[in-house]
Amino acid sequence: MVGMSEQDAGGRAAEDLPAEEQDRAANDSSDDGLLSRLRVIEDQPLERRAEAFSQLHDELQSQLEAADPSSQRG
């Protein structure tokens, strides 16, 4: 079930779930963390938001590039 990162509806622990469901649970908690972070940024004074959004952009870009083998040049 969506949003249940520790146990599913059947009471199974997250590590007992199929890989696809584990990924979904991890993404749900990542999404929650991102939304919380965006709220914190939005609550900051205007002058500080641009820097915070830029930092968030750089972090997300790094995560995407690390997950995409075609983006790694070498």
Residues 39, 70, single domain; the answer is no
Residues 32 and 2 in one domain: yes
Task: Please indicate whether residue 59 or residue 5 has the higher confidence score (pLDDT).
Answer: 59
22 and 8 inside one domain? yes
- Total H helices, total E strands in the chain: 2, 0
Say if residue 4 is in the same domain as residue 24. Answer: yes
**pLDDT digit string (tens) for 10-56?**
554 555 656 665 555 555 567 889 999 999 999 999 989 999 999 99
Residues spanned by the domain of 9? 1-43
How many other CB atoms are found less than 10 A from the CB of residue 20? 8
Average pLDDT of the residues of the chain: 75
Q: Are residues 26 and 37 in the same domain?
A: yes
**Full-model pTM:** 0.52
Q: How many domains does the chain have?
A: 2
How many Cα atoms within 13 Å fall on the side-chain side of residue 12?
A: 11
* Model pLDDT, residue 7: 43
Same domain, 36 and 56: no
User: Is there a single domain that holds both residue 33 and residue 61?
Assistant: no
